[in-house]
Structure 1
Amino acid sequence: MNIKDLEKEYIQSLKHFYDAAEAKAIFNLSAISILKVTQSELLVQKDKLLSENHLKELINVLNGLKSGKPVQQILGKTIFYGLPLRINEDVLIPRPETEELVDWIIKEVKDKKKTILDIGTGSGCISVILKKNLPNLDVSALDISQGALKIAAENAKLNETEINFIEADILNYSSNDKYDIIVSNPPYIRELEKADIHENVLSHEPHTALFVSDENPLIFYDAISDFAIKNLNPNGYLFFEINEHLWSETLDILIAKHFKNIELKKDMQGKDRMIMARTNP
């Protein structure tokens, strides 16, 4: 079987999960990973016959996809902000809007600050990228999950970055350490929003990193803001990825706690997904 024919089989077999464009993108990601070729090399090799081993590996990926498992988990890796990251069931698969948050931090902070804490680091995607792009930053990353911290440490090593990892629950964590920047992409999807979530996310990604109760959906934003008030240096930055449906309520928390220069930012889809706030000088 050649590459073109297997691509058609992916699109046909996955039509109940993904539209044709998504299935094609998933095939390309799988083929690039297993064949160890670039995107451009794959495009000009579509008529090339696959070896028996490569065909077997790609069929195994397809079988995993048909069970609803995300391709990043099947392959055990993804690319985030241009860097490779390991992925498993203990961590969320990094999303494009988180790349936008990281890009905002890099462009806003540049070399102006020295210390940062990433709260709820998961795969370590935010902390690893920030350390790689702002190497003078002293980066710490906190998570409640041992499994997540293990993957985050592997990603730090994979990308040759030095990060201080902290195992703790931010809802019950106190520290005297001071930071210039605190960033968090905490759980923010309400139970009532589950119906809008793709089945492969519900079945295969950690719910503790995704969902909060309908009764107190901003519990993490409240706790992290309180922590930031105490632990941010003067002129410090607080960055959040947020629930687009709760942007106003999130702003209210920051205003009530007397943060300054609060800025709400839309993602590339036009959704209110990021907030930056500053501490008093």
Structure 2
Amino acid sequence: MTLKEFKEHFFKRLSPLYPDQEIESFFRILIETYLGLRSIDVHLNPDKKIKLKKLDQLLAARERLVLFEPLQYILGETEFYGLHFTLNPDVLIPRPETEELVEWILNDLEAGTNSRILDIGTGSGCIAVSLAKQLPLAQVDALDVSEGALNLAAHNAELNKVDIRFLQQNILETESFETSYDIIVSNPPYVRNLEKTEIQANVLNFEPHLALFVEDHDALIFYRKIAELAIRSLSSEGKLYVEINQYLAEETQVLFKETGFKEVELRLDFAGKPRMIKASL
């Protein structure tokens, strides 16, 4: 099969399922990943034959897209804050909104800081690794309940040449931390079950529900526990940063204030949705 023929078949198979612009993006990324080619190469050499082994990989990827599997899982990798991360279905796919949370922390800190930082629910390690990379003198700890997530996060730390201490803990069963921290950050589960109707199939069917969903009757369970631990574990000038459910922004702010935080700042994400909170002692 030639490049031109594959592209025609690719679009025909996916066009009932995705917008053309998204299909074009899928195609561009796949031929770059599997064939080492750019889109312009398809235009310049449309009759170039695709080797059978490579064609099998491309067709397999296409069929996984038909099932709405996220491209990041198909490729087993993604980019976050300019760094390369390995991915698998044990962890959530890092989002641009979370990059904004990392940016907020970095803007508040100096590159030469030796702050102690804790990332709760590290998943792929995207937050912890990005902070450790940008703050080489900081001491970064990262915890998660999932052994699979921690193994992947440790791999990503090694991949990006940063030193992080990983801890396997269930935050809801944690009574205290063994050390104090200057920064605690978390992107915990916050999507209520009632919001599942808003979730796209590629997320609902493939990303780990353990890292996504909370019960409707106690949607702030993780924030309550994190706030209680943070108020006792942060240094005097310490700060807590969290990503939040846009529909529960006011309730989350109130929770932090009632826990004892003196300053609670809400920020909007790039789409204008309430997405992040910084709570200061």
- 2:243–2:277 contact (8 Å) kept in structure 1: yes
**Deviations 1:52-91, CA, capped at 9 Å, x for gaps:** 3322221111011112211111111111111111111100
SS at match of 1:44: helix
SS at match of 2:92: coil
SS at match of 2:218: coil
- 2:28–2:39 contact (8 Å) kept in structure 1: no
Mapping of residues 118-157 of structure 1, within 5 Å: 118-157=119-158
> How big is the shift at 1:36?
3.5
> How big is the shift at 1:261?
2.7
Quick one: distance in 1 between partners of 2:246 and 2:58? 37
Mapping of residues 35-184 of structure 1, within 5 Å: 35-36=35-36, 42-47=38-43, 48=45, 49=48, 50-111=50-111, 112=113, 114-173=115-174, 174-184=176-186
Which residue is 1:257 aligned to?
259
Amino acid paired to 1:116: I
TM-score (norm 1): 0.93
Quick one: distance in 2 between partners of 1:16 and 1:184? 38
Which residue is 2:226 aligned to?
224
TM-score (norm 2): 0.93
Structure 2, unaligned runs of 5 or more: none
**Deviations 1:200-234, CA, capped at 9 Å, x for gaps:** 21111110100000000000000001110011101
- 2:114–2:139 contact (8 Å) kept in structure 1: no
1:226 to 1:21, Cα distance in 2 relative to 1, 3 A: same
RMSD (Å), alpha carbons: 1.5
- Asked if 1:6 corresponds to 2:6, the answer is yes
Quick one: distance in 1 between partners of 2:34 and 2:195? 35
Number of aligned residue pairs: 275
> How big is the shift at 1:9?
3.3
Quick one: distance in 2 between partners of 1:56 and 1:238? 48
Quick one: distance in 2 between partners of 1:5 and 1:220? 50
- 2:143–2:168 contact (8 Å) kept in structure 1: yes
Amino acid paired to 1:45: D
1:134 to 1:4, Cα distance in 2 relative to 1, 3 A: farther
Deviates more, 1:181-190 or 1:20-29: 20-29
SS at match of 2:41: coil
- 1:262–1:276 contact (8 Å) kept in structure 2: yes
Quick one: distance in 1 between partners of 2:4 and 2:110? 44
